[in-house]
Homo-oligomer: A and B are copies of this chain.
Amino acid sequence: METTTMPNWLKQRAYMTPERIALETAEESLTFLELHEEVLGRAGALGGLGIQKGDHIAILMGNSAEMVKIIHAVFYCGATAVLLNTRLTEEEWEYQFLDSKAKLIIASPEYYDRVPVNENKKLSLMDAVRLLQKPAVYEEEYDLNQTAVIMYTSGTTGKPKGVMQTFGNHYWSAVGSALNLGLHTEDKWLAAVPLFHISGLSILFRSVIYGMTVSLHERFDAESINQSIIHNKTSIISVVSTMLDGMLENLKECSYPKTFRCMLLGGGPAPASLLNQCKEKDIPVVQTYGMTETSSQFATLSMEDSLRKLGSAGKPLFPCQIKIVKESGDEAGTNEPGEIMVKGPNVMKGYWNRQEATARALENGWLHTGDIGRMDEDGFLYVLDRRSDLIISGGENIYPAEIESVLMEHPLVKEAGVTGVTDEKWGQVPYAFVVASENLTANELLHFSAKKLAKYKVPKGITFVSELPRNASRKLQRHVLKGMVQ
Q: Is the CB of B321 within 8 A of A179?
A: no
Q: Among residues 1 to 57 in chain A, which have CB atoms less than 8 Å away from a CB atom of chain B?
A: 1-3, 5-7, 12, 15-16
Q: What are 5 residue pairs bridging A and B, where the CB atoms are less than 8 Å apart in the complex?
A: A1-B350, A2-B2, A7-B319, A178-B178, A179-B183
Extra 15 A-B pairs, beta carbons < 8 Å, given A1-B350, A182-B183, A209-B318:
A1-B347, A3-B168, A5-B365, A6-B345, A7-B318, A7-B319, A7-B320, A16-B315, A16-B316, A178-B178, A178-B183, A179-B183, A182-B182, A182-B184, A182-B185
Q: Does A211 contact B (CB under 8 A)?
A: yes
Q: Which of A145, A316, A321 has the most CB of B within 10 A?
A: A321
Q: Does A379 contact B (CB under 8 A)?
A: yes
Copies of this chain in the oligomer: 2
A145 neighbours in B (Cβ, 8 Å): 2
Q: Is the CB of B3 within 8 A of A210?
A: no
Closest 3 CB pairs of A and B: A3-B345, A183-B183, A182-B183
Q: Which residue of B lies closest to A164 (CB)?
A: B1
Contact flag A179-B7 (CB < 8 Å), given A16-B316, A184-B184, A315-B16:
no
- Inter-chain CA distance A318–B207, complex, in Å, is 13
Q: Does A81 contact B (CB under 8 A)?
A: no
Q: Does A203 contact B (CB under 8 A)?
A: no
- Inter-chain CA distance A319–B315, complex, in Å, is 27
Q: Which residue of B lies closest to A184 (CB)?
A: B182
A185 neighbours in B (Cβ, 8 Å): 182
Q: What's the minimum C-beta distance from A279 to chain B, rounded to whole angstroms?
A: 19
Q: Does A189 contact B (CB under 8 A)?
A: no
Q: Among residues 367 to 397 in chain A, which have CB atoms less than 8 Å away from a CB atom of chain B?
A: 379
- Inter-chain CA distance A202–B15, complex, in Å, is 26
Q: Does A362 contact B (CB under 8 A)?
A: yes
Q: Is the CB of A179 within 8 A of B315?
A: no
Q: What's the minimum C-beta distance from A233 to chain B, rounded to whole angstroms?
A: 16
- Inter-chain CA distance A3–B176, complex, in Å, is 14
Q: Does A79 contact B (CB under 8 A)?
A: no
Q: Number of residues in A with C-beta < 8 Å to the partner?
A: 35
A12 neighbours in B (Cβ, 8 Å): 318
Q: Is the CB of A179 within 8 A of B178?
A: yes
Q: Does A170 contact B (CB under 8 A)?
A: no
Q: Which residue of B lies closest to A320 (CB)?
A: B7
Q: Is the CB of B183 within 8 A of A319?
A: no
Q: Is the CB of A1 within 8 A of B184?
A: no
Q: What's the minimum C-beta distance from A406 to chain B, rounded to whole angstroms?
A: 32
- Inter-chain CA distance A196–B318, complex, in Å, is 26
A347 neighbours in B (Cβ, 8 Å): 1
- Inter-chain CA distance A178–B211, complex, in Å, is 12
Q: Which residue of B lies closest to A4 (CB)?
A: B2
Q: What's the minimum C-beta distance from A478 to chain B, rounded to whole angstroms?
A: 31
Query: Chain A, 285-323, contact with B by CB distance < 8 Å: what is the 0/1 string?
Result: 000000000000000000000000000000110111100
Q: Is the CB of B16 within 8 A of A209?
A: no
Q: Which residue of B lies closest to A187 (CB)?
A: B182
Q: Does A105 contact B (CB under 8 A)?
A: no
Q: Is the CB of A172 within 8 A of B209?
A: no
A318 neighbours in B (Cβ, 8 Å): 7, 12, 16, 209, 211
A345 neighbours in B (Cβ, 8 Å): 3, 6
Query: Chain A, 164-179, contact with B by CB distance < 8 Å: what is the 0/1 string?
Result: 0000100010010011
Query: Chain A, 319-331, contact with B by CB distance < 8 Å: what is the 0/1 string?
Result: 1110000000000
Q: Which residue of B lies closest to A345 (CB)?
A: B3
- Inter-chain CA distance A178–B145, complex, in Å, is 23
